[in-house]
Structure 1
Amino acid sequence: MRGIFVLVLIVGVALAGGAVMMTKKYVSAYQNALAQERASRVENIPTVDIFVATDTLKYGHRLTKENVRQVRWPKESLPEGVFTSLEALFPPGSDDAPRVILRTMEKNEAIMASKVTLPGEDAGITSRLERGMRAFAIRVDVSSGVSGFLRPGDKVDIYWTGQVRQEGAVQGDFTRLIETNVELIAVDQKASNDIDGAVIARTVTVAARPEQVAALAQAQSTGKLTLALVGAGDDTIASVIEVDQRKLLGLGAIEAPQEVEREQVCTIRTRRGAEVVAIPIPCTN
């Protein structure tokens, strides 16, 4: 009887061990299948190897190989102008002529051609001028320069205040909007937008077409220029605006006095002794 009990115990233990092994094998197979499914799901998204910043890169910083690293980026959301090879980002022989940062880039931000110079190119304001544009400096102070809150990259409207002489007479002071949505490329001698706090600038540099430069030069030499900051994302175009003192006070235009028609009087002169006398006669003409 004792032998049968031992035999049953051994068989039970063997069956339990077999069940445990089968369960472990099943769980392991399920985990492997799940891992393979997840891996295949990731591989189904096409990716491209690009270069990103390893740390915050500010304007004027020289770009080196230590500042970048290669990552996999989804192909469908690939930014324009990224670098996909180390040879494109650092051409042979560029060690002595490195690229320079034009715009601040944060850590893990993609390195793009619009944010760095060409190898060996200076990061001055010339690199920020588009084709056909020119740089023009405007004198400003705390009142005309929006209290020092201007930054490179901002857009401003430009107003002219002065006097106009016509036929030798001064027509009075008035203010007129002369240019709209003009882009600032530098404040004083700083072309970077990494400016902390308000800066009371003495000059700002704008990007303008040659005909705009001529108009701004004439306006600056004949009156005072004032800048008005345009809001970010504001694409409205301001119409012609002109205000003088009478319009500001709500007064109408000064009307010229009407000439009173005078009655024509015709006379003849005759001498009476030593006296000359004018005698009225009817006018025939």
Structure 2
Amino acid sequence: MRNVRTLLMVLVAALAGLAAVVMASRWMVQQSAGTTTKVAVATADINLGQRLAPEFVKLVDWPRESLPPGAMTDIATVDGRVTKASVMRGEPILESKLTPAGTKGGLSAVIAEGKRAITVRVNDVVGVAGFALPGSFVDIIVNTQKDTGRTDAGQPEQSISKIVLEKILVLAVAQEVNRDETKPKVVNAVTLEVSPVEAEKLDLARSVGSLSLVLRNQVDPRPVDTAGATKRSLLNEPVLQAATPAPVVRVVQAVQRIAEKKLTGQCVGVISGMQQNQECF
């Protein structure tokens, strides 16, 4: 009888413990369901300008307290959109990283409104040794002949190097637009994002001289205003002063003096036959 009572107590305790576990589990599920939401995240690394497809995105539970602004909660709203920034695997798909609905993929999708894309040819030196990567900013230097319309000391005007464009965004190097890589890439062409006016200046600059890229700090907004560098300023040579032409007034005064001397000189009358002349000395 005592064994039966003990066994009954153990059975009741086990049932009570099981019920407590079930109730606690349900409470935790309810609590977690109220504090999380479904968020679309990338299932693989997605490059800039790539069109999204359902296989690139999945829904996962995300805490409501740390939900990033603009997070997408429905895969249907993400399908067919184009990224204007790279997205890493497991990163939430944000509206700020997507182009407007209906935009086609490719480089044209990432060009800012009012801007244009232009490609310039570079080499391993001009391209800042491959460190001019997509997303970085560069200045453009042109080396050309300074057009002054005159010569100094019989020598033609020297060439000049000058910064003509500042803080130009690099959109792509060769055919790659991925902005997440930091490894240098030596390429033969760089695509830059410029305004229409800057595009005209850049096109003229590459036709009148050679171009070089100057890598600059991404957070440095200060413009510069230089006079350009010439061979004379580089070697710190003195500027030759051109000879000053003689004033015209001196020549006029000399002519007047000669004329006055002739008029005030001695004159002699000369008679030749029936003709009479006057000769002045």
TM-score normalised per structure 1: 0.68
Residue 214 of structure 1 aligns with which residue? 200
Residue 82 of structure 1, aligned match among 71, 74, 77: 71
Q: Report the AA paired with residue 146 of structure 2.
A: V
Is 1:239 matched up with 2:252? no
- Residue 226, structure 1, aligned to residue 212, structure 2: yes
Matched residue SS, 1:213: helix
Query: Kindly tell me: are residues 22 and 175 of structure 1, through their superposed partners in 2, closer, same or farther at Cα, counting changes over 3 Å?
Result: same
Instruction: Figure out how many residues of one structure are paired with residues of the other and give that number.
Output: 253
| From 162, 165, 174, the counterpart of 2:147 | 165
What one-letter code is carried by the residue in structure 1 that aligns with 2:147?
R
Alignment deviations for residues 125-177 of structure 1 (CA, whole Å, 9 cap, x no partner): 21111111111222222221111222221111111221122225453212111
The code of the aligned residue for 1:88 comes to: T
Q: Is the CA contact (8 Å cut-off) linking 1:158 and 1:225 kept in structure 2? A: yes
1:148 pairs with one of 108, 111, 130? 130
**Residue number in structure 2 paired with 1:123:** 105
Write the distance in 2 (CA, Å) between the matches of 1:143 and 1:88: 45
Q: 1:135 matched to which residue of 2?
A: 117
8 Å CA contact retained: 1:117, 1:123: no
Please report the RMSD computed on the Cα atoms of aligned residues, expressed in angstroms.
4.0
CA contact (8 A) 1:55 1:107 kept: yes
Where 2:109 maps in the other structure, the secondary structure is helix
1:72 aligns with 61
Q: 1:125 to 1:20 in 2, by over 3 A?
A: same
**Partner SS, residue 86 of structure 2:** coil
Q: What letter is aligned with 2:198? A: Q
**Alpha-carbon distance between aligned partners in 1 of 2:17 and 2:245, rounded to the nearest angstrom:** 111
Question: Whole-Å Cα distance in 2 between the matches of residues 258 and 71 of structure 1?
Answer: 84
Unaligned runs of 5+ in 1: 1-9, 91-97, 271-278, 280-285
CA contact (8 A) 2:118 2:191 kept: yes
Q: Which residue of 2 aligns with 1:203?
A: 189
CA contact (8 A) 1:156 1:181 kept: yes
Unaligned residue ranges in structure 2 (runs of 5+) = 266-280
Cα drift, residue 109 of structure 1: 0.4
CA distance in 1, matches of 2:242, 2:62: 74
How many Å apart are 1:217 and its aligned residue?
1.5
From the superposition, tell whether residues 62 and 128 of structure 1 become closer, same or farther in structure 2 (CA, over 3 Å).
closer
Distance, in Å, in 2 between the alignment partners of 1:198 and 1:76 is 39
**Deviations for 1:52-99, whole angstroms, at most 9, x for unmatched residues?**
012333456553323222123344543343212233223xxxxxxx34
